Structure 1
Amino acid sequence: MMISSEVLASAAADPTSLAWDFIWQESCHQGTCDPASAVLLPWLAQTCAAFAREDREKAVVLAGFIALGADDAGRAAYADEITTLRALAVDRLPSASSDSMFVYLQQAILGFDGDEIWGKELDHLNDGEIDVQCPECDEEWLLDLESEDSRIESGLSSGLARRLHAEAVQAGRGSVAARLTRLFGRFSCPDCGTRFNLADHLAGISYQ
């Protein structure tokens, strides 16, 4: 990771600076952040705190990815900064600039919490669809989260699901709340008839 002090200064001076794109590219690749990027957390905590609430969204989301990608030593070393950044994300969540940003902020909070699954995968809500794999016959299915898919039995299959749904309802994010009930609902495999929780069987995800 090679990010100059000049790039960091440009980003800190302007939340819309193209320097942020460079920082993203250097820190994270294909949804995974280099553990070495954790050294940015103190700078991110200071920078995000200095930005106006409406200007810190993108930076806080980046910080969530970086915190999730940090190793145990990094999370321990920057525990105070992670706590600060999490609080900033929670503060912004109710007034997020869009439904998609609301989801990204929820995901960032989970990243700060160290949730290895939903700190990365919650943004399937923004994609509007998910690939799931039947635990019995291994067949994969692409399911629509945007509309009422008759194959999905809506639900909230975990305490986390209920928390995320409550946050969406309280913030007036009806579309996000509806998609959450599908993501955390149940599905009957058309091939073998096995019923399973969608959120426990996303295709290509290791739950170990």
Structure 2
Amino acid sequence: MWSRELEGVCDEEYELDCPACGGGLFVAFGSYGTFAAAGDYVGRGAVGEEGRAELAPADPDRLEGVGARLHRAAVGAGRTQVARALTYVFGEGRCPSCDVVFSVREQVEQR
């Protein structure tokens, strides 16, 4: 599953659904910042700061399983930006619409 989902790391975002309210979210972790947005966050009509909630990265030393393996591989290959992005992919987000905290990884896996 992760072999195909790693494209989101390269794209610096995932398009997910909130597990509580079902609203569409963009989870971004790159050049635009690190946040979950309730709607498009770039271009005409983009949501402003009120439509965004900061992401909480996972502690790299506490990653387990596939998250730990991917992070270790990125660090070992000198891909610091990828390693940093993975801490957000395996961290937590908060829906700006309903305020529920969710596991980004779990929502990516449910896509």
Instruction: Give the TM-score normalised by the residue count of structure 1.
Output: 0.39
Please state if 1:197 is matched with 2:103: yes
Q: In the alignment, which residue of structure 2 is the partner of 1:138?
A: 22
Q: Which runs of 5+ in 2 are unaligned?
A: 36-53
The one-character-per-residue Cα deviations of 1:70-100 (angstroms, maximum 9, x if unpaired) are xxxxxxxxxxxxxxxxxxxxxxxxxxxxxxx
Indicate the SS of the match to 2:78: coil
Query: Matched residues, percent identical?
Result: 31
Please state if 1:118 is matched with 2:29: no
Matches within 5 A, 1:57-206: 117-147=1-31, 148-149=33-34, 151-155=54-58, 158-202=64-108, 205=111
Specify which structure has the bigger relative contact order, considering alpha-carbon pairs within 8 angstroms and separated by 6 or more residues: 2
Higher strand share: 2
The one-character-per-residue Cα deviations of 1:33-89 (angstroms, maximum 9, x if unpaired) are xxxxxxxxxxxxxxxxxxxxxxxxxxxxxxxxxxxxxxxxxxxxxxxxxxxxxxxxx
The one-character-per-residue Cα deviations of 1:2-36 (angstroms, maximum 9, x if unpaired) are xxxxxxxxxxxxxxxxxxxxxxxxxxxxxxxxxxx
Classify 1:190/1:158 alpha carbon distance in 2 versus 1 (closer, same or farther; 3 Å). Answer: farther
Higher helix share: 1
Question: Matched residues in 2 for 1:169 and 1:203: separation?
Answer: 23
| Stretches (4+) displaced over 6 A | none
Question: Matched residues in 1 for 2:12 and 2:103: separation?
Answer: 17
Q: How many residues align?
A: 89
